[in-house]
Structure 1
Amino acid sequence: MKIICPELVAENILLRPIVPSDLDHIYQGLSHNDVIKYYGISYKTRSATEAQMEWFRQIEEEGSGVWWAVVSKDGAEFYGACGFNNYSPVHRKAEIGFWLLPEYWGRGIMASSARLICNYAFSKMGIHRIEAVVETANHSCQQVMKKLGFVLEGTQQDAEVKDEQFISLHLYALLNK
């Protein structure tokens, strides 16, 4: 079942569906060393990034997730992307993910964006639990989790291999009370 991806608006941002013309922006973010430092995927070429665009389309079509482009309120500037994947209607939960181009860091854009999509997930998608898996070294993301009221539930030690090194992961969750 396809998930609807409506436009969402806050004081300084617009969240809109990701469209094919966003390819260059997605590539810019997911090939940038500072963005991918703590992100699970990266692309070395613009054409390879087409797989990410297909993934956005596919998860929405199959009903397992939804992602938004984060842009300026007038739509002129592309800031990053945020959304949900691993959506389970049975368990009423999903995993949140996001990234932002470095020139927009420290402006509260991602906290505002994540707040918007969490509110949407709770009020429109019927989600009860939103999870976030965060690398223990990603202090900026941990700050966003705290701002939004996510609770650190635990740490998985040496849970994944990245760049031939084991990394540990924090599990955060936000419940719809």
Structure 2
Amino acid sequence: MWFKELETERLNLIEIGHHHAESLFEILSKDEVTKYDGIESLTLVEDARRLIDSFKSAYINKRGMRWGVILKDSGKFIGTVGLHQLSLANKRAEIGYEIHPEYW
């Protein structure tokens, strides 16, 4: 299955890999980021790696798709955006995102 990367004027939306685990952890360990997500703030970088694995699994199984949000000018990973609870048969999905508070 081919992962579609997207580009805007200021951002690249890319496939998230384990090399993004530290950056993802930095974002998802902040209570102000996770308080409306229905997840607990991460406490270990390994939790970020497991989450990345779950993003990949959801994509492979056509249940969701999650992009890393990268600033073009600096290459900095600032968050994620994507679809979850994806139902292709019903043409329905939920949209979610997490952005580092410095970029709100």
Q: Which residue of 2 is the match for residue 91 of structure 1? A: 90
Q: Which residue of 2 is the match for residue 33 of structure 1? A: 31
Count of equivalent residues: 103
| SS of equivalent residue, structure 1 residue 6 | coil
Residue 7 to residue 96, structure 1, CA distance change in 2 (3 Å): same
- TM-score, structure 2 normalization: 0.90
Identity percentage of aligned residues: 30
Tell me whether 1:50 sits opposite 2:62 in the alignment: no
1:15-65 Cα shifts (integer Å, max 9, x gaps): 111111010111111111221122222311111222211111110111111
What is the rounded CA distance, in whole Å, between the counterparts of 1:23 and 1:33 in structure 2?
Answer: 17
Runs of at least 4 residues off by over 3 Å: none
- Contact 2:80–2:97, Cα closer than 8 Å, also in 1: yes
Unpaired runs of at least 5, structure 1: 106-177
What is the rounded CA distance, in whole Å, between the counterparts of 2:31 and 2:85 in structure 1?
Answer: 25
- Contact 2:67–2:82, Cα closer than 8 Å, also in 1: yes
- Contact 1:9–1:73, Cα closer than 8 Å, also in 2: no
Residue 17 to residue 84, structure 1, CA distance change in 2 (3 Å): same
Q: Which residue of 2 is the match for residue 22 of structure 1? A: 20
Task: Output the aligned Cα RMSD.
Answer: 1.4
Q: Which residue identity is paired with 2:35?
A: K
- Contact 2:10–2:73, Cα closer than 8 Å, also in 1: no
Q: Which has the higher contact order (CA 8 A, sep 6+)?
A: 2
Alignment of 1:134-145 (within 5 A): none
Which is higher, the Rg of structure 1 or of structure 2? 1
Unpaired runs of at least 5, structure 2: none
Give the superposition deviation at 1:74.
4.5
Equivalent in 4, 8, 18 of residue 10 of structure 1: 8
